[in-house]
A and B are shown apart, each in its own frame.
Chain A
Amino acid sequence: MDTHIYDMGDIDIAWCPGCGNYSILKIVKLALAELDIKPHELVLVSGIGQAAKIPHYFRTNFFNGLHGRAIPPATAIKAVNPGLTVIAESGDGDMYGEGGNHFIHAIRRNPDITNIVHNNMVYGLTKGQASPTSQLGFRTPVQVKGVFLEPLNPIALAIALDASFVARAYAGDIEQSKVIIEEAISHKGFALVDVFHPCVSFNKVNTHGWFKEHTYYLDDSHDPLNRLNAFQKAIEKERLPLGIFYKNPGKPTFEENVGLYKQDKTPLSFREKERGARLVNLIRSKK
């Protein structure tokens, strides 16, 4: 399938020239096209931030909710209509900061959604404050003494919670990132892809050059089914691994666990079962 099917045509895009978000937009479209997922079969759910504007540059169904709240609606959308491909996509501040609690519990709940996090290690839209993934010492107009909070490590956190799929990509590498995101979307269960990308306006430290120098790809010797190894890789500090860290493919999903689809595959959204008789029985049982 051609990625043009997702294109919005001539629109005004609010991202800065050279922003990594453009690459991620392209990567996600490429992955979806490769998987032959049509716009009406997809729902893109986002929060608020520069990254979270992605649904506006995408011809598909979308739910652009509140800051930090992409995951809860995405979880529910998938549960009431499992036929849809659901992607929850936002920035690092949105997903790991404001939405941190949802991130943690979504891993436990394991809805079959893909969680793509544009990780530029800074708050872009609000003009350059520290994000949960900002590095120690990172100076901003607010963090005037430099960041002294230990950066959040989403990969290690997800593996610690035995997430279903954990990967990291880099926006500068379209080909490899496309493959990772394709696999994440195809994976059954909650799939995290943390995507490194530079913020050209507010992060002068973690630039393309920096990412190139400080990352490397996990090679074939890495077994993504081995949780301990995955965790070890996740806490490496010198150079940060890219690729699929961990997979736990056997986990039942939230939609499976709610138990509504065992016999009847009709999405809850479209079920039109008459409730009258059952309701009358239930009321009578209250005698």
Chain B
Amino acid sequence: MSNKFAPDNSDVSVVLCGQAGQGIQTVERILVRLLKLSGFNVFATKEYMSRVRGGSNSTEIRVSSQRISAFVDRMDILIPFHKGALNHVQKRISPQTLILGDEEIIPDDFQTSGNRYVPVPFAQIASELGGKIFVNIVAAGVVTGMFQVEQSLLGNFIRKFFAEKSGEVVQKNIEAIKRGWEIGRKLLDSQKSRLESWKKQDVSEQILLSGAEAVGLGALAGGCNFLSSYPMSPSTGVMVFLSQQMDEFDLIVEQAEDEISAVNMALGASYAGARAMVTTSGGGFALMTEGVSLAGMTEIPVVIHLAQRPGPATGLPTRTEQADLELALYSGHGEFPRVIFSPGRLEDAFFLTQKAFNLADKYQIPVFILTDQYFMDSYANLPLLDASSAKMEKFIVRTKKGYRRYELTEDGISPRGIPGLGEGLVGVDSDEHDLEAHITEDLDLRKRMVEKRLKKLDSIQKDIVPPELFGSNDYKILVVGWGSTYGVIREALEKLGREDTAFLHFKQVYPLHEKTRDYLEKAERTIIIENNATSQFARLIKLYAGVDIEARILKYNGLAFSVEEVRARLKDIIG
């Protein structure tokens, strides 16, 4: 096989593998942006170790003619940045994988054993330019050359990307990317390549977001103006994103001393009229559960972004899993309503987070956004989000004299005042309380208060986001998934190409939509796909929709599913 790059399929997967601290993230950021600017659809996802230096991390960038949002095992191009790289991704190297790299880091036996290997003297070029740090940019340049990114885009892009660096540094980087580009261009077999037809003008105009940014933007759209949290991977991205927006959006972002403080601060802020949120991961959320219960009792709105990672305990800090569904569902002592969203697409993350603020405010409840490391750290292009369709709904009332915070009403929702707005006084209490929020042991009133709080669930029904069906309505086999597995399941099913199989994706996992049962009962066979070991969502479906799911495809080694894997495992089941 020729060592020339001649893509004709509709997508290419480029994998960069290096040590922590080597800057492959910079390459990723540059490439994703430049390729998108050039008109390619892109999707990038990474897996990395919980360390600041060393180890082996990899990033996959899929470049495609169509919108994609899934990880593939397949590697079409591999750029290793250190000696251990090939080992790290060995299982994924195939005879088709085109490997580009310095001879020094590719083991000899590897160079001779029939792999498609093209030596590229990254280190030497970089040192000619002034030092090792340019290796990344040269590598980025090589890939842009291979994909026929217009050379004219490079200079401006680098100037913007390194806007804060000195003129000399910027100039060196421009030189570096151009040197790489020249090499890349020669690697492309432009006769056979169909790349030009992949590029689309409208894609180049699209935006690029990570899952963390999509949640952050959704929070801004939902009116969030207070975030208190404690750093914990993989949830910190949202905190970082919102911190950057503090001044522009009149927003308080505070790093609390611990998660207990964070959630109690958020509730204080919300009580006083802010739109408050916390972002955390399982271990941090475990500490916040008292606050969930407090939100339930005091009926204070709060949005909780819970980015899952593998547990128990510290688990695998930088890996992914969907194993905190039950934690979110059952968190907080006592009985009270809640809502749990689980975005699958970047758009979902934006609109659901925005909606979470409205629902929290409307029903005075905690609302969860359940994501995971895979979702947080993945990037893709998407059409411009329509912020105007994201309406902020506020339910705060101006109080009158004699106002009572917990007035008993038909639907259980008491008009919510805030201190300082109107003539009334606003109390809230974590004890069982009377209508004015004063502590009570009147047990008849207790019963009515429990019923008042739970009654809100009835009204919530009309706001449940329905599951989305993909594929024919006349399905015989129904594949069920929730949250971040959306992209991978869709693509695997498309590749499988079976008319009789449809996919039902849940972006709200609790309360379940009333149609859930019908969808499931209509199928002859049902299969659930979850990134956990005990199929928590299947259990939830059994409990609330009363349907047993027949087959399970589970994964819990800390990595996200790949398209190939889902396809193969589905095939095993369906035949």
Would you call B261 and A101 a contact (CB within 8 A)?
yes
Q: Whole-angstrom distance from the CB of B569 to the nearest CB of chain A?
A: 35
Tell me whether A145 is interfacial, beta carbon within 8 Å: no
Inter-chain contacts of B220 with A (CB < 8 A): 275, 279, 282
Would you call B207 and A66 a contact (CB within 8 A)?
no
Q: Whole-angstrom distance from the CB of B542 to the nearest CB of chain A?
A: 34
User: Interface digits, A38-80 against B, CB 8 Å rule (1 contact, 0 not)?
Assistant: 0111010100100001011001111111100101111111011
Q: A62-B428, A64-B427, A269-B272 are in contact. Are A102 and B261 (CB under 8 A)?
A: yes
A41-B261 Cα distance, complex, nearest whole Å: 24
Inter-chain contacts of B207 with A (CB < 8 A): 283-284, 286-287
Out of B221, B245, B265, name the residue touching A72 (CB < 8 Å).
Answer: B265
Tell me whether A81 is interfacial, beta carbon within 8 Å: yes
Inter-chain contacts of A33 with B (CB < 8 A): none
Inter-chain contacts of B419 with A (CB < 8 A): 40, 43, 61, 77, 81, 84
Tell me whether A271 is interfacial, beta carbon within 8 Å: yes
Tell me whether B9 is interfacial, beta carbon within 8 Å: no
Q: In B254-307, which residues have CB < 8 Å from any A CB?
A: 254, 256-258, 260-262, 264-269, 271-274, 276, 290-291, 294, 298
Inter-chain contacts of A286 with B (CB < 8 A): 207-209, 213
A55-B256 Cα distance, complex, nearest whole Å: 25
Q: In B237-255, which residues have CB < 8 Å from any A CB?
A: 245-250, 252, 254
Would you call B427 and A62 a contact (CB within 8 A)?
yes
Would you call B420 and A283 a contact (CB within 8 A)?
no
A142-B271 Cα distance, complex, nearest whole Å: 37
Out of A45, A258, A282, name the residue touching B217 (CB < 8 Å).
Answer: A282
Inter-chain contacts of A214 with B (CB < 8 A): none
Closest to B228 in A: A76
Inter-chain contacts of B117 with A (CB < 8 A): none
**Interface pick from B146-154, B192-200, B359-367, B384-392:** B384-392
Tell me whether B421 is interfacial, beta carbon within 8 Å: yes
Inter-chain contacts of A76 with B (CB < 8 A): 226, 228, 254, 265-269, 272, 274, 276
A253-B274 Cα distance, complex, nearest whole Å: 19
Would you call B247 and A79 a contact (CB within 8 A)?
no
Would you call B430 and A75 a contact (CB within 8 A)?
no
Would you call B269 and A102 a contact (CB within 8 A)?
no
Q: In B283-337, which residues have CB < 8 Å from any A CB?
A: 290-291, 294, 298
Tell me whether B128 is interfacial, beta carbon within 8 Å: no
A74-B265 Cα distance, complex, nearest whole Å: 8
Would you call A282 and B245 a contact (CB within 8 A)?
yes
A136-B420 Cα distance, complex, nearest whole Å: 45
Would you call A69 and B260 a contact (CB within 8 A)?
yes
A interface SS class: helix
Closest to A108 in B: B257
Inter-chain contacts of B290 with A (CB < 8 A): 66, 69
Q: In A242-287, which residues have CB < 8 Å from any B CB?
A: 258-260, 267-271, 273, 275-276, 278-280, 282-284, 286-287
**Interface pick from B41-49, B431-439, B509-517, B547-555:** B431-439
Would you call A61 and B252 a contact (CB within 8 A)?
no
A273-B1 Cα distance, complex, nearest whole Å: 62
A59-B424 Cα distance, complex, nearest whole Å: 11
Interface residues in A, total, Cβ within 8 A: 55
User: Interface digits, B441-462 against A, CB 8 Å rule (1 contact, 0 not)?
Assistant: 0000000000000000000000
Would you call A79 and B252 a contact (CB within 8 A)?
yes
Tell me whether A104 is interfacial, beta carbon within 8 Å: yes
Would you call A65 and B205 a contact (CB within 8 A)?
no
Q: In B219-240, which residues have CB < 8 Å from any A CB?
A: 220-221, 223, 225-226, 228
Would you call B246 and A282 a contact (CB within 8 A)?
no
Would you call A268 and B217 a contact (CB within 8 A)?
no
A51-B427 Cα distance, complex, nearest whole Å: 17
Would you call B221 and A73 a contact (CB within 8 A)?
no
Would you call A79 and B439 a contact (CB within 8 A)?
no
Would you call B213 and A81 a contact (CB within 8 A)?
no
Inter-chain contacts of A271 with B (CB < 8 A): 225, 250
Tell me whether A83 is interfacial, beta carbon within 8 Å: yes
Inter-chain contacts of B264 with A (CB < 8 A): 65-66, 69, 72-73
Q: Whole-angstrom distance from the CB of A268 to the nearest CB of chain B?
A: 6
Tell me whether B8 is interfacial, beta carbon within 8 Å: no
Would you call A83 and B439 a contact (CB within 8 A)?
no
Tell me whether B104 is interfacial, beta carbon within 8 Å: no
Tell me whether B423 is interfacial, beta carbon within 8 Å: yes
Inter-chain contacts of A71 with B (CB < 8 A): 261
Would you call B267 and A65 a contact (CB within 8 A)?
yes
Q: A66-B290, A104-B257, A286-B208 are in contact. Are A81 and B272 (CB under 8 A)?
A: yes
Out of B208, B250, B420, B437, name the residue touching A273 (CB < 8 Å).
Answer: B250
Would you call B431 and A80 a contact (CB within 8 A)?
no
Tell me whether B418 is interfacial, beta carbon within 8 Å: yes
Would you call A269 and B421 a contact (CB within 8 A)?
yes
Would you call B420 and A258 a contact (CB within 8 A)?
no
Q: In A98-115, which residues have CB < 8 Å from any B CB?
A: 101-102, 104-105
Closest to A60 in B: B425
Q: A270-B421, A275-B221 are in contact. Are A62 and B437 (CB under 8 A)?
A: yes
User: Interface digits, B391-432 against A, CB 8 Å rule (1 contact, 0 not)?
Assistant: 010000000000000000000000000111101111111110
Would you call B420 and A56 a contact (CB within 8 A)?
no
Interface centre among B208, B228, B252, B261 (most CB of A within 10 A): B261
Inter-chain contacts of B245 with A (CB < 8 A): 282
Would you call A77 and B268 a contact (CB within 8 A)?
yes
Q: Whole-angstrom distance from the CB of A80 to the nearest CB of chain B?
A: 4
Would you call A276 and B387 a contact (CB within 8 A)?
yes
Would you call B246 and A73 a contact (CB within 8 A)?
no
Would you call B384 and A72 a contact (CB within 8 A)?
no
Interface centre among B207, B388, B419 (most CB of A within 10 A): B419
A71-B262 Cα distance, complex, nearest whole Å: 11
Inter-chain contacts of B428 with A (CB < 8 A): 62-64
Inter-chain contacts of A11 with B (CB < 8 A): 438
By Cβ-Cβ distance, the 4 closest A-B pairs, closest first, are: A73-B268, A269-B273, A76-B268, A72-B264
Give me the interface of B with A, judged by CB distance under 8 Å: 205-209, 213, 217, 220-221, 223, 225-226, 228, 245-250, 252, 254, 256-258, 260-262, 264-269, 271-274, 276, 290-291, 294, 298, 384-385, 387-388, 390, 392, 418-421, 423-431, 437-439
| Supplied contacts A55-B429, A102-B261, 9 more A-B pairs, CB within 8 Å | A61-B427, A65-B294, A73-B265, A76-B267, A76-B274, A102-B260, A104-B257, A268-B226, A286-B209
